[in-house]
Amino acid sequence: MIKISSKNKTIYGSIDLESSKSISNRLLVIKALCKTKFRIQNLSNAKDTKILNELLNSFNKRIDLNCEDAGTALRFLIAFLATKEGIWKVSGSKRMHERPVKPLIDCLKELGAEIKYLEKEGFPPIEIKSKKLKSKKLSLPGDISSQFISALLLVAPTIENGLPLEITSKVLSKPYIDMTLGLMSEFGIEYSWENNLIKVEQQNYLAKNIKVENDWSAASFWYSFLALSKSGEIKIPNLYADSLQGDSVLSSIYLKLGIKTEFNEDSIVLYKTKNIAKELELDLSNHPDLALPIIVTCCGLGIKAHLMGLESLKIKESNRLECIKKELEKFNVISSISDSSIKIKKNQKIVQPTSIIECHNDHRIVMSIAPLCMKVDSIKFDDKEVVNKSYPKFWEDFDRLSKNNN
């Protein structure tokens, strides 16, 4: 358990955020597939990245590979192992065994991999008996997890005669696919994306040393803290306007929520303004991870909000829409949710919660709700360690910035 509070309701200082977990995880797969070694600077310390790194470095010495609660690691690892010779069991935590992998497994089977489910059809744990993958045109709907598409694209250059991948419906979380292709391109991979068809020919990754940018999605919590504070100013190094990360759209979204972003050569600085919209309606199908901090910010500011395009939040570490609805009720905030959206009414009075906030084993639930400490005396969470999944220094950074004075 952890209890947090902000005596002065202010937030000042500089934060060196964790590096991007999304970029780090993709680079680890590229490094493992590259025939020449290269160095990755500023690799993420997130638990997911540590798990993926350890498994990629030891897969040829063991049979049983446990991804714990690291969803990206599991999906990327399955595709990677399908390109190697051997037999492996891939498993995870109880929650991981409830998160579907069938679309990815079906595609890998079509390419020649032998994969069987060890418990429930369509879900981990699985057994992989890899064979040499051979080219075949694959089709996937765009409204599934973009990690399935990214996993296939990352291994596509190693497939005999390459991979044509057809996306059969509107793509959700497209910036994550753009990120994957952008990083592949940095390592020499040529591809085409015309209409709904992505083509990657068989080719080799070319080694180069690279530094990972810091995590724009982690910055979202500090935008929220500042928006709900009485006063403050936050500097964040190693974030850039021309980022590969789609979540850099934060800077334009939060302009409507009273936060201005100043872009410098090697950092951003966040300032409070008085320009706050009366209501906010957003389609976040390309940026679903931003939904929770944004809806919490709107609650704290008393803004009417309607966020859409959130289908993928059902299959994250928790069912995030159901969980955030439940926890916000403890602050007297009533929301309505559907399978893909959340709505709140304006001017709901935030009250001190009388019960502990449940973390639901989900790092983003916790870090999204934490900024509400700017509106109440204190908040108690039932799990201090859950933030380690993506942002191990979160509590330390909050403690330091909330105690600083201008």
Element housing 73 (H / E)? helix 71-81
What is the number of other CB atoms lying within 10 angstroms of the CB of residue 226? 26
User: From CA 240, how far away is CA 263, in angstroms rounded?
Assistant: 7
Can you tell me whether residue 152 is helix, strand or coil? helix
Q: Could you write out the DSSP letters of every residue in 271-315?
A: EEEEEE-SEEEEE-TT-GGGHHHHHHHHHHHT-EEEEE--GGGGG
User: Tokens at residue 112, please?
Assistant: 């020649």
User: Tokens at residue 58, please?
Assistant: 């030891």
What is the number of other CB atoms lying within 10 angstroms of the CB of residue 87? 11
Q: What residues pair up with 64 in beta bridges, in sequence order?
A: 89
Question: What's the DSSP call for residue 144?
Answer: S
198 vs 149, 153, 181, 299, 369, CA distance in Å?
Answer: 10, 9, 10, 40, 38
User: From CA 67, how far away is CA 54, in angstroms rounded?
Assistant: 10
Q: Are 204 and 231 in contact (CB under 8 A)?
A: no
User: From CA 383, how far away is CA 1, in angstroms rounded?
Assistant: 5
Q: Are 330 and 308 in contact (CB under 8 A)?
A: no
What is the number of other CB atoms lying within 10 angstroms of the CB of residue 264? 12
Q: What residues pair up with 134 in beta bridges, in sequence order?
A: 160
Catalytic one of 48, 143, 247, 289: 289
Query: Please, what's the b/e burial string for 149-176 (b: 16 or more CB within 10 A of its CB; e: otherwise)?
Result: bbbbbbbbbbbeebbbbebeeebbbbbb
Does the annotation mark 69 as catalytic? no
Residue type (1 letter), 281: E
Contacts of 139 (CB under 8 A, 6+ apart): 165, 166, 167, 168
Q: Active-site residue numbers?
A: 289
